Chain A
Amino acid sequence: MRKFKLWLILISIGLIAFDKYSFISNLRDDVVIWMQKQTSLLFYRIQSYPRLVLLHTTQQQELASQNAQLKKQIEEYSLLLKQSKNQTQDATAVNQLNPNGVYDDFNQIVAKAILDVNFFVNNQMLIDVGSNKGSQIGSAVVNRDGVIGQVFNVNSNSSQVTLITNPEFKIYVEQSITKSKMLAQGSGNGNIIVRYLDKNDKIQAGDILETTGLDDVYPARIPVAKVVKVFYENNGFNSALCVPVVDFHQLQYVLVLKYDSK
């Protein structure tokens, strides 16, 4: 037993010397440092996990609200861009009117249409051109599709326009093919009605009614309305129900035409 213990003591001393003067010590220290680092990291993660989760939740909520705001902004900007494009196209189209010299006898002013709720009730419209830019009472208002109405009140920076659907509005028109003349009047509910048509007049649904150019208010051959229905009235004449060729809901830019007597 004593011999065995002596051997153990010698082996122990040998191990200590081996550990001291060999690579084992460094290797063991490296392993220990690595394990300590991993353990500290693991415990740090465990300790900070609730905070991280809460932080993530808060960040997610912030990002979600930011995302919603950005989406809203994108929608607003895309709408503005679309409106801007439409306005640009409309302004270009209005400026490119008169390719055949139809408006040569008229002073042309480009104006922006302002529609409000009264448009539906009163059949009136406001434009951003007034007496400062030469707008006058009685000036015709058209766009690339056709006749819109006539200026009936002028302010310094704006003008009021009576639309062709207004019951007080009357316009002298002719059928585009047969050139038969007739008087059209607004009916107040978004339509135009032509009364006292001779039974022999060959007018039917789908015909386009144009300006005659005889009244010095409107240039000739500008579309006014489209016939929807022809019906007989008990007074011995036919009547034609028409709809304007211009879609008032999509008005952007209009052209104010003032007859130049020179």
Chain B
Amino acid sequence: MIVNNLRLVIFCIVLVFAQFLINNLTIFYVDILAILLVCLLMGGNYSWMQLIILSLLADLFGHWYLGSHLLAITILSIFSAKFTSFYRVSNWLPRTIMANIFFSILLLIIYLIDMIVGKVFTSLGSLVFEIVVLMPLIQFILQKFVNLRSSDIIFYD
């Protein structure tokens, strides 16, 4: 499984480091793994094992309650299946817009969970930073370097 998803595993490790550095050294408090989760969910070709592991990682490194990401992504998966086909054929900009919408819903769910449980944290600047900078960037990297199809690999080689 790791060998099959080697590019994704490396990308996840890089994102974890990036999130750790941004959260500790800047004024932003971002949830990069949640962006990746949304992107994978929208792409449709995911396994639930990937989503569960990534959700728990996102909770651990983002200091959210364990299971909050998993709950949010499970709820989102109920609606995302209808948009998967359109998402796959879309270009970078529509993809980013769609992913941003789902990402906002995911953050809203997490916010609600936090509010119910008792620990609330909001940062509008971080949200804007995630939507404007990080989401397009991750979309671009996923499209160009991580989710390569066999024909792409032949083309690049």
Contacts and interface: CB of A to CB of B under 8 A. Distances in A.
Interface in B9-24: 20, 24
B74 A8 contact: yes
A4 B117 contact: no
Say whether chain A's binding surface is mostly helix, strand, loop, or mixed.
Answer: helix
B24 A20 contact: no
Nearest to B68: A16
Interface in B56-114: 60, 63, 65-68, 70-71, 74-75, 77-78, 113
Contact of A16 (B20, B24, B63, B66): B66
B27 interface: no
B67 A13 contact: yes
A9 B68 contact: no
Contact of B65 (A16, A36, A40): A16
Contact of A28 (B63, B74, B75): B63
A167 B67 CA distance: 115
Contacts of B156: none
B68 A12 contact: yes
Nearest to A36: B24
A5 B51 CA distance: 12
Interface of A: 4-5, 8-9, 11-16, 18-20, 24-25, 28-29, 32, 36, 39-40, 43
27 contacts: A4-B48, A8-B52, A8-B70, A8-B71, A9-B71, A9-B75, A11-B67, A12-B67, A12-B68, A12-B71, A12-B74, A13-B67, A16-B65, A16-B66, A16-B67, A16-B68, A18-B67, A19-B67, A20-B65, A28-B60, A28-B63, A32-B63, A36-B24, A39-B20, A39-B24, A40-B24, A43-B25
